[in-house]
Amino acid sequence: MSAAAFYDALEIRPPAQREAQHLAALPHQVAHAQAHTEAFADVLAGIEASRISSRAALAALPVTRKADLLARQQAVRQQRQDDPFGGFSAVGWQGLARSTGARRVFQSPGPLYEPQGWRRDYWRMGRALHAAGLRAGDLVHNSFSYHLTPAGAMMEDAAEGLGCTVFPAGVGNTELQVQALVALRPQAYIGTPGFLKILMDRTLEQELELPLRKALVSGEAFPSALRDWCLARQVAAFQCYATADLGLIAYETSAREGLVIDEGVVVEIVRPGSGDPVPDGEVGEVVVTTLNPDYPLIRFGTGDLSAVLPGTCPTGRTNARLRGWLGRADQSAKVRGMFVHASHVAAVLKRCPEVVRARLVVTGELGQDAMVLQVEVGSELASKLGGEPGGEPEGMALRLAELWRDTTRLRADVELLRPGALANDGQVIDDRRSPS
């Protein structure tokens, strides 16, 4: 592919060079977060930033999740009014110069508050738009919300950075948006895939000519059936994975094989409920460290499940790829009046290194719950499973049952399994009880 097919040279640098550059940046980002944010001064207290120069060292740091952001923001607001970001942002918003202050403040469900700095394409969405085919001179119909949340501004800044003109449609007012499509004839759409389908359906119903030829969608699932439906109507739609906290995480390319990880983040896949990285290919929680100096989130747990695909993108982009969104990692169930979480399963695994993977299966009727902790053991122990009575690894099931009871104060049976017996889907808690 020609150089024009790529957003910049970063996309095609050798993987070893990318990894070395990211690892060289990590100590500086950790030190910056410690020095310029109250939150990470606490979270990373006692950590020597210069030592965080490898994946293993990064994996030893604690994971920060949305619940942590929310709790600290609420606590800080009760004490003072000058920091809506709970000490996680290195930039403020009151009385600061343009070069150091926040350009905008946004609200996400929680409510959580996120800053936007002054850099062009602050959330790095331009890379995803470029991969979706948007180019300078395109008119873009942006139907992401401009109200409260950053999605509309996130996409607009990126499109303008590419040299596009933006129609800020926002959400709702479907008939007016159809009128604008017909009158303005934009080449590209940005928004949720669901609303793209609505707009396309409405124009087809009214026998109007649809001007759209390309789209970048996000914010909800984009099934292949809808992608193909759009293509049949001459709209090539691509998806991306982004959050209000981190900006772009990964994006789809013309190869349609997974989502290529953005160049401005370091992504790990960890066992749900823990911070422990899993082998490539295994489903786990997406944990991201952003290299954004304004909002330096270190090991931020997204709560989303995905897995790393083998190899690199056929388009020539050399960064690792994610399989896409595969569910939520923040799994829980209420059993006998008490909540059990994925973190409880992870805590047991941490204390029993012979276990490769585990899943808690909850069955029974409400008030008569039963739990079975299914665990895959390593290949060495697996050879002892089955066969003659007593062939089971001595005491393993009993030890796991005791660890589970110590961790949760609840009883569970333990079932020992051979490697590969559990599906590679990231599911840690399987609640099979009837909702009624």
- pLDDT for 378 equals 78
**Coil, strand or helix at 26:** helix
**Cβ-count burial 161-174 (b if 16+ within 10 Å, e if not):** bbebebbebbbeee
Instruction: Report the C-alpha gap between 33 and 46 in whole angstroms.
Output: 13
Query: In this structure, is residue 402 part of a structural domain?
Result: yes
CB 203 within 8 A of CB 227: no
Tens digit of each residue's pLDDT (9 = 90 or more) over 164-185? 999 999 988 999 999 999 999 9
Instruction: Report the C-alpha gap between 187 and 179 in whole angstroms.
Output: 15
Query: In this structure, is residue 400 part of a structural domain?
Result: yes
> Residue 157 has which token pair?
């800044």
Instruction: Indicate the residue type of 29.
Output: Q
Tens digit of each residue's pLDDT (9 = 90 or more) over 228-276? 999 999 999 999 999 999 999 999 999 999 999 999 999 999 999 889 9
Query: In this structure, is residue 306 part of a structural domain?
Result: no
Q: Which residue has the tokens 């403040």?
A: 105
Classify 146 in phi/psi space as left (phi over 0), alpha (psi -120 to 50) or beta.
alpha
CB 58 within 8 A of CB 269: no
Query: φ, ψ for residue 24 (rounded to 5)?
Result: -70, -30
Q: How many domains does the chain have?
A: 1
Among residues 375, 388, 373, 387, which one has the least CA distance to residue 419? 375
> Residue 8 has which token pair?
């910049």
Note the pTM of the prediction, 2 decimals: 0.86
228 beta partners: none
- pLDDT for 332 equals 83
Q: What is the DSSP code string of 343-403?
A: HHHHHHHHT-TTEEEEEEEEEEETTEEEEEEEEEEPHHHHTTSSSSTT-SPTTHHHHHHHH
Query: In this structure, is residue 319 part of a structural domain?
Result: no
Q: Which domain holds residue 369?
A: 332-431
241 beta partners: 250
Q: Which residue has the tokens 């936007």?
A: 116
Sheet of 265-270: strands edge to edge? 64-65, 300-306, 284-290, 265-270
Query: In this structure, is residue 236 part of a structural domain?
Result: no
> Residue 121 has which token pair?
């394409």
- pLDDT for 198 equals 93
Query: In this structure, is residue 74 part of a structural domain?
Result: no
Query: In this structure, is residue 388 part of a structural domain?
Result: yes
**Coil, strand or helix at 319:** coil
Instruction: Report the C-alpha gap between 367 and 242 in whole angstroms.
Output: 40
Instruction: Report the C-alpha gap between 22 and 32 in whole angstroms.
Output: 15
Query: In this structure, is residue 84 part of a structural domain?
Result: no
CATH number of the domain enclosing 388: 3.30.300.30
Q: What is the DSSP code string of 188-213?
A: EEEE-HHHHHHHHHHHHHTTPPP---
Neighbours of 414 (CB within 10 A): 20
Note down pLDDT in tens along the chain; length 436 residues. 666 789 999 999 999 999 999 999 999 999 999 999 999 999 999 999 999 999 999 999 999 998 899 999 999 888 877 788 999 999 876 544 455 667 888 988 888 899 988 888 999 999 999 999 999 999 999 999 999 999 999 999 999 999 999 999 998 899 999 999 999 999 999 999 999 999 999 999 999 999 999 999 998 889 999 999 999 999 999 999 999 999 999 999 999 999 999 999 999 999 998 899 999 999 999 999 999 999 999 999 999 999 999 999 999 999 999 999 888 888 888 887 777 888 889 889 888 888 888 999 999 865 578 899 999 887 666 666 654 444 466 688 888 999 999 998 889 999 998 888 999 888 999 888 875 4
Instruction: Indicate the residue type of 90.
Output: A
Instruction: Indicate the residue type of 154.
Output: M
Instruction: Indicate the residue type of 178.
Output: V
Helix (H) or strand (E) holding 105: strand 104-108
